[in-house]
Structure 1
């Protein structure tokens, strides 16, 4: 009897041996996004040490730092009143000598329905609060992928983070099909669906949380526990790092429950 092959996804070749830094759009600079940015910095420094060209990150967020953000998000008292994206990117650039970019605005089409040129990136990572924002990102990635004149930074992967007070998930998707090699040992999977396709109905049904900004850290902690964002950020960054380091993965994310310390991997199917 022939054993069933394990489903895996082989990382797109461009990510493994690029001639330029891999472009990354990180959307959202709050509790999760600010921690993911630190993870991307660590990935970048490690890739550079291994002879890779590293990452070129652009952080999108139209919010400013408030006192409610201190402690749970990666901000400090001296940054209150600054744009979140600018505060974080300036800190990263000063610490590492990088030239990452900050966008103090939402990741969305302009009023004429056009996609901003700077929104094109090889990897998109969303750390957003609303279902509407996720569907907006899906629409932009689909439109860019459908354009005939493909550019070097054409989108290939979308990683989405989402969480409630004590639980969360991170899900990796491909933007279209990624060319896969033949394998006698594994079953290569070229396409992983968008979170909006796979869980769209569930997302729409569950959008009932009050996203009113908190006035204090104490109020913010009633909405999201202290370490849910950080622990979830580490899970997703580990998945991304594995794709760079090992060139393949049999996982496309996980469901994470911090309250009882359980994490359930999402296998590629």
Structure 2
């Protein structure tokens, strides 16, 4: 009996056997981003233990820690008033001896259309809460990709997180085409579309459902469930870990509903 082959994306070879740490731009240090950073720390320590060169992360956020961020986001009372990115990166570096970097500005082009400094990274992870920010990141990645022969850290993957009160999604995209090996068992897929191309309407709906920033933790919990960010962060980091650990994935993301504990994987098609 003939069985249809499974579509599979094989990880870019550079991620599997790099000569330098894999550069990662993590955009957003709020409820999801602060927890994704912890996941990246765990991935980094595990990769190093396996003889890999690990990760070099740069965290982007222009916001300041407030009392409303305590509890739901990964901040503490002693950090109120500090830049979010600085507080988180300092903590990671002290705990692990890493030399990860903090940026206290938004990851966006300036008013003259100039690219942000240090915008080149092999992996970009976005934990932002506006459609405009995502389209801005898409534009930056497209621009950098057009110059990929002239930069060291060519962009290869974009992992995007988004959520409302009880639901959310994680979407993996490639920046351009990733060279795939020949396979008799699978159908290799070299391109995973940008989230802004495939799920633009979903993103706009999520933004319409979102509310204004909260002034207290109690108000924040009315807008987003306590564990929606953490559960999404874990599953997205698992997807990223699979790229490194197994060298391939048949999934390109997931939809998650924490209210009724349902998760629907998105297969590569």
Indicate the TM-score class for this superposition, using the shorter chain for normalisation: over 0.9
Aligned to 1:90: 90
Shift of 1:148: 5.7
Determine whether 1:234 maps to 2:234.
Answer: yes
Q: SS where residue 162 of structure 2 aligns?
A: strand
Corresponding residue for residue 27 of structure 2: 27
Within 2, Cα distance between the matches of 1:81 and 1:87?
Answer: 10
Larger deviation: 36-45 or 194-203?
A: 194-203
C-alpha contact (below 8 Å) 1:23/1:57 kept by paired residues: yes
Checking the alignment, whether the CA contact within 8 Å between 2:163 and 2:206 is kept in structure 1 is: no
Report the CA distance between 1:152 and its aligned residue.
2.5
Contact 2:148 2:155 in 1 (8 A): no
Q: How far apart in 2 are the matches of 1:159 and 1:132?
A: 16
Q: Kindly tell me: are residues 203 and 210 of structure 1, through their superposed partners in 2, closer, same or farther at Cα, counting changes over 3 Å?
A: closer
The answer for the alignment partner of 1:39 in structure 2 is 39
Structure 2 residues not aligned, in runs of 5+: none
Distance apart, 1:3 and its partner CA: 1.8
Residue 132 of structure 1: aligned partner: 132
Per-residue deviation, residues 207-231 of structure 1 (Å, max 9, x unmatched): 3245422110000000000000000
Q: Is the 8 A contact 2:251 2:266 kept in 1?
A: yes
TM-score of the superposed pair, with normalisation by structure 1: 0.98
2: CA distance, partners of 1:187 / 1:149 = 28
2:23 is equivalent to residue 61 of structure 1: no
CA contact (8 A) 2:148 2:154 kept: no
Distance 1:74 1:96, change over 3 A: same
Cα pair distance change 1:215/1:205, threshold 3 Å: closer
CA offset at residue 58 of structure 1?
Answer: 0.2
SS at match of 1:208: helix
Q: TM-score, normalised by structure 2?
A: 0.98
- 2:111 aligns with 111
Deviation at 1:110, TM superposition (A): 1.7
Cα RMSD between the aligned structures? 1.1
Contact 2:29 2:59 in 1 (8 A): yes
Indicate if the aligned counterparts of 1:129 and 1:211 stay in contact, CA closer than 8 A: no
Q: CA deviation at 1:14?
A: 0.1
Report the Cα distance in structure 2 between the residues aligned to 1:100 and 1:211, rounded to whole angstroms.
Answer: 32
Distance, in Å, in 2 between the alignment partners of 1:255 and 1:23 is: 27
Farther off after superposition, 205-214 or 53-62: 205-214
Name the counterpart of 2:217.
217
Deviations 1:107-151 (A, max 9, x none): 001221111230110000000010000000000001111126432
- Cα distance in 2 between the residues matched to 1:37 and 1:30: 10
Q: How is 1:1-269 mapped onto 2 (pairs within 5 angstroms)?
A: 2-147=2-147, 149-269=149-269
Q: Could you tell me how far apart the structure 1 residues matched to 2:51 and 2:237 are?
A: 20
Counterparts of 2:148 and 2:186, CA distance in 1: 32
Corresponding residue pairs, total: 269
Three-state SS of the structure 2 residue aligned to 1:207 is helix
Gaps of 5+ in 1: none
Question: CA separation in 1, counterparts of 2:142 and 2:211?
Answer: 27
Distance 1:260 1:209 in 2: 19
Per the TM alignment, residue 19 of structure 1 is displaced from its structure 2 partner at its CA by 0.2
